[in-house]
Structure 1
Amino acid sequence: MTMVRAGVVPTQRAALYSVLGILATVVMAAAIVGLFGVNRVFTGLLVGAIAGVAVMAALFTRDAILLTEQAIYRRTPWTVSSIDWDRVVAGRFTLDDRARWSLALDLSGGDEQHGELVLLSIPPVLRPVSGAYDLRKREQVNEIRALLRHKRIPVTVLPEIAGALQQHWQIAPPTR
C-alpha cells in the first residue's frame, strides 16, 4: 500500500489562496507594464494571469491530507503535522452541514477541531460516473476505503450513501 491523497481545503484558506493568486496576477502585470510601458498591458495581464494560476495551483496542491502506511500527514503550504494511526477511532461517511457527503475520521485526543479529520467532501452521487471528477472521487473513495480496511478501522456509512455508492459507482458497502 502506498500513499493516498485526500483532504478538504477550508473556505478561509481557499479564499486566502485565491487572494494570493490575484495578488500575484496584479504584481506581475504591474511589473511588466512598469518595465516595458503601457503598450504591454495585455502582455502584463497574460503573464500575470499565468503567474496567478501557478500560485493558486501550487497552494491548493500543497494543501492536502496524505494517508500513508506509517501515519496521516496534514499538509498546508507552510506546515506539516502528523497523526498516528492509533489515534483514529473510526471513520464516518455521512451528510455534512452543506448536504454534501463527507468522509471523516474520528480522532482521540489531540488538538483537532471536534476530534475529526475530514478526508473527502463530495456532492451526493445521483448517477453513474460521468466525467473525470466523478472518476477521481470514486478512486479516492476506493483507495481510502482499502487503506482503512487494511488498518482495521471501522467505517460507518449511512444506508442511503451506501445504496447510492453501490448502485451508481459499483462500490460495495462495508462488510462489517
Structure 2
Amino acid sequence: MSLLKDKFIILRKMKYGESDLILHAISPQGEKLSFIARGALKSKKRFGGGILEPTHFVSFTYKESSEEGKLHTLQEASLINDFPGIRQDYDHLEFALHVLDCVGKVSQEGDKHSDFLFNLLGHTLKSIEIAQDVLVLKMHFYLRFLLQQGVIQPEPWMAPFLRTNLADSNTLISHRQVVDEELNNVENMVRHYIAHAVI
C-alpha cells in the first residue's frame, strides 16, 4: 500500500468497533473515498480536537488500499477549515448536513472528473456560514445541484439563482417570493433524485 496525501471534505462518520471510525469523504476531483481511522476515538495525537467531523475540510495522509472497494487506512489528519459559522443555529447546521447527504448520494468511488461537485459543496458550506436566509440559499443550492446533475433545464424564473455565485446568495433575498412559491417543488425533485440515483 502506498502512502498518499490529499484534501477532502468529510461527508459522513460512523463508529466501527470500540475505537475505530469509518469515514466517507470527497476529494477535490469529486471522487468519494472511504477510510478507516483505527483507534480514532482514543488517539488524541493523530485525530484530536474533533477533526474527523462531517462538514470539515481536512488534509488526510493515508495508506491506499490495493483492492477496489476496500477501505483506505487513515494515518494522519489535519484541519483546514471547520466552517464554524455553520453551527450558529439548528437551521444552518441541518441544511449543511442535508447538503452533505445530497453530495454523498451522487458522488462515486473512482470518479475523478466531478470536481464541480466538490466545488459546489465547498462553496455552499462557506455560504451557509453567512446566510441571512437559509431557505434562499437552499433554493440556490438545489437549482445548481439539479442543473449539474442534468435533472432540470433552466427556466426563466431560475435565472437570478443560476447567474449568481453561491457566495452572493444574500443578494437573492429580494427573490424570496419565488422561493416561497417554488421551493417545495424543487425540494421534492431533489429528494426524489437522490433517493433513486443509480450509483
TM-score, length basis structure 2: 0.23
TM-score, length basis structure 1: 0.25
Structure whose CA Rg is larger:
1
